[in-house]
Structure 1
Amino acid sequence: MKRALAVGLVSAQFVLLAALAFLPHGSLWPVTVVVAVASAALCLAGAVLAVLGVVGLGPALTASPVPREHAPLVTTGVYGLMRSPIYAGLIAGALGLALIGASVWHLVAWVALLLLLAGKARWEERMLVAEHPDYAAYGAHIGRFLPAVGRLRSPR
């Protein structure tokens, strides 16, 4: 069951990212130079953040939200700033795509991706707390997608 849910979540994530990239452009707002530059900056920052997250995980990296057994808990590098930098990078890059897309459907796809990744992160964190006793204390000090935002409640 856990494996099927993981595959479903990852598949839905890729479908939403593809939708953001390939939906027809809209006219919800004018795509000015400022919007184009902001979009490019968000896409670039998101890509850099996601790559730093991938590289930072090292042997703990998996495409699935289900953590690798006996993989080390990574709390340094970009993981010292936020718990889910890969997801944060995807959210930022997807926002850039939604900005340049300028349609209601782009916004809907971005919000759906945001909600999906937030739920996926929460599920993943429950498994990480079970796998790593130190994760709860780490999560109490480090934000989920942004530094200091979305910290876990302090362990009792």
Structure 2
Amino acid sequence: MTSTTDASSTRQSYTVPTHINEPDKLLFGLTARQLLVLITGASVVYAVWLQVLSWAMAWGLDLLWSRGLALLIVLPLLLVTLASTFVQIADRSLELWAVVWMRAHLAPTTYVWRSAKWDEAEQRALQARKRARTQQHEQGLDELEREEV
């Protein structure tokens, strides 16, 4: 008995990736970027917390007032860290929006001077081109109507 193996009879299945543009989740459902921003922000917040506590204690404030002052100073930093970690606008992170805003405001603005005569001449040429296109369009419609009749 002879057995022939036909390539078409054995089918191979492949898994097609559907989440190519999705970043990988590393820890607790956070991406690498989110994890890095969160760890960096938490480190800065903790360092500022300790620094403010030591300064407040050196100024002679008791522990309760020192903690209150430290909390008031650290709270905005904590909120900025959480916002930059989790908030996205138009599928872009807040730090990307900050870079775009800085580039737009720090880039030099270029002004181009044009003569008023040039603008008038350019405007007349533009209107003439529009009129020519409209006439061509109307002529084409007239020809179509004649063909239909």
Q: Under a length normalisation based on structure 1, what TM-score does the superposition of the two structures give? A: 0.28
Higher relative contact order (CA 8 A, sep 6+): 1
User: Structure 1 or 2: larger strand share?
Assistant: 2
Q: Under a length normalisation based on structure 2, what TM-score does the superposition of the two structures give? A: 0.29
